[in-house]
Amino acid sequence: MTRHALIRVLVIDDSAFSRQAITRMLEASPLVEVVGVARDGEEALRKTFELEPDLITLDLEMPRMDGFTFLRVVMSKRPTPVMVISGRADEENVFRALELGAVDFISKPTPHAAPEIVEIEQELIRKVHAIRELRIDKVRERLSAAPPTIRQPATVHQPQGRSSSRRTRIVVVGSSTGGPAALMQIFGAYSQAPNCVFLVAQHMPAGFTSGFAERLNRLTPMRAAEAKGGDVLAPGSILVAPGGKHLELETAGGRTVTRIVSSRSDDKYTPSVDRLFETAAKEVGTGLVAVVLTGMGDDGRAGVKAVSQAGGKVIAESEETAVVFGMPQQAIRTGMVDRILPLDEIAAAIGNGRNERNRAMRGPL
């Protein structure tokens, strides 16, 4: 696909309403061409090889071949960016699909939901346009590195008997496209819960973040939950920003707790990485570690500056592993990133004390 060529999309869904709605949304963009539709998995597989689309939108529940089988075949035979179109009741299936190689997802449009359809259309077009920045080879490399459950390329062993004497590290993480699988890889690399609390701003629509947090809680050594507001920052825990809202930090009752803020119509990104980083920098200062992972756009750029200026440390995922290098690249361009690391070295870097050195760490302090 050349830089200015149309983005050729294959739409797969067994619902005639969904096929028509998604096609109409896509064709509203002059940069997108729907080259075909498919009603079941077998037809979808045949058309994938015949049409060689740049992007596939995929309904996971299909007759004759389900979406998971389709994903496995496509990612092994003809790796292609796949965006899952899913109802909110199917969140567990969405995250399984992301681990099998799907690069992103949006909520499925439904009849009689005009306001939601407008929002879904805007999100769909934005994500489809960003496909030009996506590197499908990085998705395939990640899949081949380990089985698609918890990926553990470099298990981090925490020192026994010393964590209680060390101050709990506050780690804020921002990610977008490719982020759920990247986060699972980082958190799954720990053999036991580290003396850290992680706060995550992952670009994700409302209705899915609770399920994502539950998955992290079940498949990693840490206690994970969707942030509710007023949450205490406990070591060995992960707090995920709720979809459609912003996660911030504030002081209440003499201690640092979470704050949940509703999004506004003019917010560019929700949840906002910048807002999480900036409020954390103000509350935590030199004890803060900020991590910018794969994603499109520049969310996190202003936040990285705030963290660095407050004396915190910043890690950015390197181009060699990022599915979309947009967010890490924007962070690096600030000149305020301390470490630029491939994904499989980030857990080790976080796990070390602030003044320790590790050969996994690269780049100037």
CB atoms within 10 A of CB 223: 16
What pLDDT tens digit does each residue of the chain (365 aa) get? 545 589 999 999 998 988 999 999 999 999 999 999 999 999 999 999 999 999 999 998 888 888 899 999 999 999 999 999 887 667 888 999 998 999 999 888 776 555 567 778 888 998 999 888 898 888 888 777 654 444 343 444 444 433 344 578 999 999 999 999 999 999 999 999 999 999 999 998 888 899 999 999 999 999 999 999 999 999 999 999 999 899 999 999 899 999 999 988 888 899 999 999 999 999 999 999 999 999 999 999 999 999 999 999 999 999 999 999 999 999 999 999 999 999 999 999 998 433 333 333 444 33
For 78-153, where are the alpha helices, taking DSSP H only?
Answer: 91-99, 114-129, 136-145
Assign a CATH topology to domain 7-133: Rossmann fold (3.40.50)
Please tell me which residue in 18, 90, 203, 272 is annotated as part of the active site: 203
pLDDT number for residue 116: 66
Cis peptide before 81 (omega within 30 of 0): no
Whose CA is closest to 94, among 78, 79, 106? 106
Class of domain 163-351: alpha beta
pLDDT number for residue 113: 55
Q: What are the domain boundaries of the chain? A: 7-133, 163-351
203 a catalytic residue: yes
Cα atoms in the 13 Å half-sphere on the side-chain side of 222: 27
165 a catalytic residue: no
pLDDT number for residue 177: 92
Same fold, 7-133 and 163-351: yes
pLDDT number for residue 363: 42
Please tell me which residue in 18, 107, 176, 237 is annotated as part of the active site: 176
Look up tokens 């004890």; give the residue: 287
- Give the largest Cα separation in the chain, rounded: 63
Please tell me which residue in 54, 59, 90, 299 is annotated as part of the active site: 299
Give dist(CA 58, CA 105) in Å, integer.
9
User: 245-252 and 255-262: which strand pairing?
Assistant: antiparallel
Partners of residue 223 on adjacent β-strands: 237
pLDDT number for residue 89: 60
